Amino acid sequence: MRFRWPFVRVALRLLVDRTCLVIYADDRVALSTRMYDHWDGNLGCLVVEGVSQFRSLTDRR
């Protein structure tokens, strides 16, 4: 039997400093990683074993 997660809206705030990425989820959880081979103007989002919708993406350079 597969467990189905309830759909929950989460506000994400992404901070990028060169190759470092920090993601804040609802200002309660922080995730960090390094990014490599990033091309200007491109963004990739990966969801494993789930479903997501991304809205209101803005670039504040």
Q: Kindly list the domain boundaries of the chain, sorted by start residue.
A: 1-61
Residue 6 has pLDDT above 80, yes or no: no
Comparing 11 with 2, the larger pLDDT belongs to: 11
DSSP structural state of residue 38? P
- State the pLDDT at residue 24: 94
Q: In what order do the strands lie in the sheet with 12-17?
A: 12-17, 20-25, 29-34
Residue 53 has pLDDT above 90, yes or no: no
Residue 41 has pLDDT above 80, yes or no: no
Q: In angstroms, what CA-CA distances link 54 with 21, 24, 36, 47, 51?
A: 17, 15, 22, 11, 10
Q: Exposed (0-12), middle (13-18) or buried (19+): which is 55, by Cβ within 10 Å?
A: exposed
Comparing 3 with 19, the larger pLDDT belongs to: 19
Decide if 10 contacts 26 (C-beta within 8 A). yes
Mean pLDDT of 32-41: 73
